[in-house]
Each structure stands twice: as C-alpha cells, then as structure tokens.
Amino acid sequence: QVTLVESGGGLVQAGGSLRLSCVPSGSIVSINIMGWYRQAPGQEREMVATIGRDLVTKYAEFVKGRFAISRDFDKNTLFLEMNNIEPEDTAVYYCVANTYRRHWGQGTQVTVSP
C-alpha cells in the first residue's frame, strides 16, 4: 500500500507560480511511475505530467513549457513547478503513484484569479 500526501496548493494570480509537492509513504520501493493529474469543476480528471524512475517525463500539451515535474529520490518527494499559471489551470491537483495499481493522493486545490 502507498499513501500520498500533497501540499503547496492555494490561491494565485494569473501569471504567477506555485510549487506542488507530494510525499509518498508505505511500499515506496514498488513505485515506478509518479505523476500529477487534475480535475476542474464539472470536468473529467486529466493527466498533467508523469515521471518515471528513469526520470523520463511526459506532459499534457496544455502545460508544456509552463509546468515542470521532478522527482527527488533523496527527499522522497515529487514536485510540480507551475509557472505562468492561467485561470484555466484552476483545479484540484492529485498526485499519483503506480505500483501494480494506481494510488491517488487526496488532492490539493489550486485556484487562479484573473
């Protein structure tokens, strides 16, 4: 079992920056891919970015060039650096970790004001 705890969400003005963090606990040696998903009100949950144990990354088109995912194995933390944030980025952001199944965090709210 893997438990994920996110932090770093909040209210930010358009054009600003935020850094989300996710700390896994439990069977962390079994984790291969980690990532971030988000869900805006009335919309389906969508992938934002993922990163493997080999640090290969994948991004959704709508965040390319603005967001950066990273993984610090020493600190056992996953990050999402969000820059040039847009009002359309308002959503609950979820940390995910894949072992033999997908594990989800509880989510952290990001709200972007115009």
Tens digit of pLDDT for each residue in 36-69?
999 999 999 999 999 999 999 999 999 989 999 9
Pairing of strands 10-13, 108-113: parallel
pLDDT at 49: 98
Q: Could you tell me which of 1, 5, 8 has the C-alpha nearest to residue 111?
A: 8
Residue with tokens 């999402």, as numbered in its chain = 80
Residue 73 has pLDDT above 90, yes or no: no
Residue 75 has pLDDT above 90, yes or no: no
Residue 28 has pLDDT above 90, yes or no: no
Residue 94 has pLDDT above 90, yes or no: yes
CB 24 within 8 A of CB 4: yes
By three-state DSSP, how is residue 51 classified? strand
Across all residues in the chain, what is the average pLDDT? 96
pLDDT at 59: 98
> What's the start-to-end Cα distance of the chain, in Å?
40
